Structure 1
Amino acid sequence: MGRRLTCICNFCGMVTYLSREFNVITVDWRPLTRYPCYLHSLINTRLTAQCTAQVYSFLTHYGAEREKITCVGHSLGAHICGMISNHLTMKQYRIIGLDPARPLIERKKSNRFRLSHDDASVIQVLHTNAGYLGQEDNTGHLNYCVNGGRVQPYCKGNPIRRSRCSHFLSICYLASATMKHSKFMGVPCPNGCVNVSGPRRLPVNGKVNPFEFVSLLREYKIGNDAPDEARGCICIDVPFAKHCPFVD
């Protein structure tokens, strides 16, 4: 594998990782996801995780370093990344979950069937539709609430359309940031993701001392560029992701 990082990805941001000279393996589980039956996809996450774990084990057996492998998954894919560790003798090092799916997942009492804190040494979660199609819980060690984390300001139309757009934008945000080595302004939001209205993309209201707010502002990197030791929940301001196929 040389000095390159190896990513196991199951989302369409593959090209951006290749532009950074990552080795990329994509997991195509479309035959197990009969649209529009979400329940069919949900049931098959266990099988997909088990099969992907075999690929992971093959890589590490033949010399790939655990610390250089990142599992990146969107929606149900984020939970698959977490479930892979159920089939490994040593849990993964790094997972990036893009707006982990919420519908029906919250009814599962066991963390074995969804992304949880103990699935990897470093878990980062990008929330873009928290409380709707995406989970509200902070299941990562580092959690980013992008533009409030609930409904993205660039998504228009009826509530269903806005939720779908917001949910998929997590892919575009990571792809854009990875391609450009971007940094984003943000502030800690220990109470989790919040609704943000108007032109502001950070949680500012009349009760916050503006000087205190400015003192909390920091630059943050997301994705593989974020430091492994970073922890907490951060509200970050991310501009529109150009050329995103999920936005009209």
Structure 2
Amino acid sequence: MQELYQTVDPKQSDWLRQTGYYDSNKEDILLIHGYAGGDDTLPIVVLRDAYIKNGSYNVWMVDWGALSQPPCYPAAVHNIKAVARCTGSLLMSLRSAGMRTDKLTCVGHSLGAHTCGLIAKNVQFRLHRIVGLDPARPLIPAGSRLNSGHANAVHVIHTNAGHYGEAGRSGHADFCINGGRVQPFCENVGFDEQLCSHVWSICYMAESLHPELARKAEPCSRRCPTGPRPGHRIGIPALLGQNTPLTTSGSYCVYTDEQPYCPKTPEGPGDPRCCLVRVPPDGTTSN
């Protein structure tokens, strides 16, 4: 079996033609990991595999792991501008070589979400769509934050708003999962429940790619709510994630206690890497 994974050579002007795998009829998905990530590492690899398994896409991954290693988070924040500049230059080259940018969606997690927005400032075309997965909050300068002006459609999924993730509205449509702040299934998992909530935005996005698992969100208040569930606004529910209509706008809420994209049976749809092991007070473990 021929290897499907290839590294783009930016010096080779006809790379798209020579690779033999690029299909201009498919939607292009550009995935950008967050702090302490990298190509072929968790959690972004879950989303990569979901796109490959559950649809027909050209999947591109930006590996900037060498510029985002712990413990230097401030350095990683600083480096997203350089990553966006280089990625934008590459996209311009690929566009000249035949890449259809009218079908390009940038999906970024945490710092990667803001990187998607900064890429928009470094290309001479309008980005089709950006999906921000719990865009990072700490130390992000105002001029580097993802906003609705960065693409024709900017959709944001909030799972840890106000802590690791941005609290305010960031896109045309903002989806608040379980209030957008802390995910209930992240309690008693044996590590930081805030970080768990932040990371699991990727599993919600991966889940949206499977037709049997896609969730609908109800219109709700202008920002991710706190306290008891608010009353829903009058409006039409919207699909969460990959299949959100491009014209969707406003804030939407989803409430669920289920772990997203975690298979309910050994052969069921999902990815076991999205399943958490709970640690009860007695110290024993259970799924």
Same fold at TM > 0.5: yes
Secondary structure of 1:224's partner?
coil
Matching of residues 39-188 of structure 1 within 5 Å: 39-105=74-140, 108-110=141-143, 113-157=144-188, 161-180=192-211, 182-188=213-219
**What is residue 35 of structure 2 aligned with on the other side?**
none
**What is residue 30 of structure 2 aligned with on the other side?**
8
Residues 72 and 96, structure 1, Cα contact 8 Å, conserved in 2:
yes
With over 3 angstroms needed to count, the CA separation of the structure-2 counterparts of 1:224 and 1:61, relative to structure 1, is farther
Residues 182 and 221, structure 1, Cα contact 8 Å, conserved in 2:
no
Q: Which runs of 5+ in 2 are unaligned?
A: 1-22, 33-43, 263-271, 278-287
Q: For 2:52 and 2:100, how far apart are their aligned partners in 1?
A: 19
Secondary structure of 1:102's partner?
coil
- Number of equivalences: 231
> Post-superposition shift, 1:196?
5.4
Q: For 1:59 and 1:51, how far apart are their aligned partners in 2?
A: 12
Secondary structure of 2:168's partner?
coil
| Alignment RMSD (CA, Å) | 2.3
> Post-superposition shift, 1:222?
2.1
Q: Which runs of 5+ in 1 are unaligned?
A: 198-202
Q: For 1:181 and 1:92, how far apart are their aligned partners in 2?
A: 29
Q: For 2:128 and 2:150, how far apart are their aligned partners in 1?
A: 9
Secondary structure of 2:92's partner?
helix
**What is residue 259 of structure 2 aligned with on the other side?**
240
Q: For 1:247 and 1:48, how far apart are their aligned partners in 2?
A: 32
Tell me: higher relative CO, structure 1 or 2? Use CA pairs within 8 A at least 6 residues apart: 1
- 1:8 is matched by which residue type in structure 2? L
> Post-superposition shift, 1:60?
1.9
TM-score, normalising length from structure 1?
0.85
Residues 185 and 237, structure 1, Cα contact 8 Å, conserved in 2:
no
- 2:106 is matched by which residue type in structure 1? C
CA deviation map 1:40-64 (0-9, x unaligned): 1111111111111122212222222
Q: For 2:132 and 2:69, how far apart are their aligned partners in 1?
A: 22
Q: For 2:212 and 2:239, how far apart are their aligned partners in 1?
A: 8
Secondary structure of 2:179's partner?
coil
Secondary structure of 1:223's partner?
coil
Larger-Rg structure: 2
Residues 218 and 238, structure 2, Cα contact 8 Å, conserved in 1:
no
**What is residue 17 of structure 1 aligned with on the other side?**
51
